[in-house]
Amino acid sequence: MKAALIGEKLGHSYSKWIHEISFEKQGIAASYDLLEISKEDLKNKGKSILSLYDGYNVTIPYKVEILSHIDVISEEAKRIGAVNTLVKKGKQWMGKNTDYFGFSKLLESIDINLKDKEAVVLGTGGASRAVITCLADKGCSSIYVVSRFPSSVDASMLSFLEQEKAVLCDYKKLSSLQAELLVNTTPVGMFPHNEKMPIESKIIDSFNVVIDIIYNPIETTLLLEAKKQGKKTANGLMMLIYQALKAEECWLGREIEEEKCKEIIVCIENQLQKIYSL
């Protein structure tokens, strides 16, 4: 099997490495490539690009744009309005969303109860849709979605926010919000711009838990600052790993046993510890 990740800039991505570890641990003869594709090429050559591999992941900024290049969309991806996994069904491509599953497993890993709690999500991209949907299903009483330019948010996103009963606001409003959870779904602070932070440090005090779905660096400036302030924090690595394993299940047509998942995760975490301790 040949699989690949489609994105615009992939220098930050751990996906190839994670999938290769997983394939090796499962004894699967498979390869995984990174395909950096411009917006123009995706628009004009999308169908021919999709003829090159047996399965795909999709990342920034194409999780919504890819919808126009596929034939079928799964029910969960239809609700979310974004796709991060493409599965071949005969001669057709089906779009699925495994980000929801990945984010749900991340929340489980930090043992957070969001029933009747408020949450704030930074960003209105494809990944934010899965996060917002998951938070709604976890029983959040209110979800505020923060955009730098609310007036520029497109109609499909506005419709999605209404569907999930989420409130769109700007960064000025953010300073007056208080909630259990803050989730950054923007790329601000991602490698190689590690020093950047999506909000001012004083705003962090309004939240008890801070999640940044960025995973490279492992601890963004946002998370480091939140830790200094005594907040519970989590990065996006667990989300990345679990969405990757769920994508493999979609491609292979079978479940990966929980014990095997744990073995793969331990292997990835051990290797990362070695890298970051150098």
What structural domains does the chain harbor?
A: 2-97+238-277 (3.40.50.10860), 101-235 (3.40.50.720)
The whole-number pLDDT of residue 107 equals 98
Determine the average pLDDT of the residues in 157-183: 96
Question: pLDDT confidence of 271, banded at 50, 70, 90?
Answer: confident
CA pair distance 133, 151, nearest whole angstrom:
22
CA angle at 163 for the pair 160 and 164, rounded to the nearest 5° = 90
Rounded to the nearest 5 percent, the helix, strand and coil shares of the chain are 45, 20, 35
Question: pLDDT confidence of 12, banded at 50, 70, 90?
Answer: confident
Determine the average pLDDT of the residues in 73-84: 97
Catalytically annotated residue among 63, 96, 105, 138: 63
Determine the average pLDDT of the residues in 93-111: 97
Pairing of strands 72-73, 92-96: parallel
- The pTM for the full model equals 0.94
Determine the average pLDDT of the residues in 56-60: 97
Q: Give me the residue label for tokens 């690595």.
A: 237
Tens digit of pLDDT for each residue in 241-250?
999 999 999 9
Question: pLDDT confidence of 277, banded at 50, 70, 90?
Answer: low
> Where do the DSSP E strands lie in the chain?
2-7, 31-36, 55-58, 72-73, 85-89, 92-96, 118-122, 142-146, 166-169, 179-184, 207-212, 232-234
Whether 209 contacts 181, CB under 8 Å: yes
Average confidence score pLDDT of the chain: 96
Pairing of strands 2-7, 166-169: unpaired
Determine the average pLDDT of the residues in 218-231: 98
Whether 143 contacts 132, CB under 8 Å: yes
45 is known as an active-site residue? no
8: Cα separation from own chain's centroid: 15
CA pair distance 93, 275, nearest whole angstrom:
37
To 10 degrees, the CA torsion angle through 32, 256, 214, 53? 20
Question: pLDDT confidence of 53, banded at 50, 70, 90?
Answer: very high
The number of helix segments (H) and strand segments (E) in the chain equals 10, 12
* Cβ-proximal residues to 217 (8 Å cutoff; 6+ apart), any chain: 189, 191, 194
